[in-house]
Amino acid sequence: MAVKIGDAVPDLTLAVMGGSGPEQVSTGDLFKGKKVVAFALPGAFTPTCSAKHLPGFVANSDAIKAKGVDTVMCLSVNDVFVMDAWGKDQNVGDSVAMVADGSGALTNALGLQLDLTERGLGVRSQRYSMIVDDGVVSALNIDEGGAFEVSSAEKILEQL
């Protein structure tokens, strides 16, 4: 069953690239006591994710943060090295935190898997965006089947 508004984000370990290499970070540290806009996508360096989804959040990160958001976060079932390289490729800088859900633990716990095995991509994340207030989901936009229709930065700005 997929996560819904009012659910708490499960306490799991993810990864980010730190100054001296990969660092583990708990979802508790990422979400507790903060207002976070998180969005997830099927994969780094994939066409829609690279041309539309991530760039929309990079371009709108200042406007999102101006509405009281502490962190704008990109999640993907990719390893921390890929997320770091993709962030550099997309000139993300400090605008969006690039967070790796390498084993899909958070994606699975949220019930938002997208099975792209037949296309050679394995099990990934559905495309979604959410607002999380102090660890609790307060807005959720899930695109079906990898489409890009409701999980945009512009939709999140309307919801803030």
Please list the residues that pair with 69 across neighbouring strands: none
Three-state SS at 29:
helix
9 touches 27 (CB < 8 A)? yes
Q: Give the residue from 99, 86, 82, 89 showing the smallest Cα distance to 9.
A: 99
- Identify whether the C-beta of residue 124 lies closer than 8 Å to the C-beta of residue 43: yes
CA distances to 35, 37, 76 from 67, rounded to whole Å, are 10, 11, 24
| Burial environment of residue 84 by CB neighbours within 10 A (0 to 12, 13 to 18, 19 or more) | buried
Residue 74 designated active-site: no
Catalytic residue, chosen from 3, 30, 37, 49, is 49
DSSP string, 48-84: HIIIIIHHHHHHHHHHHHTTT-SEEEEEESS-HHHHH
Catalytic residues: 49
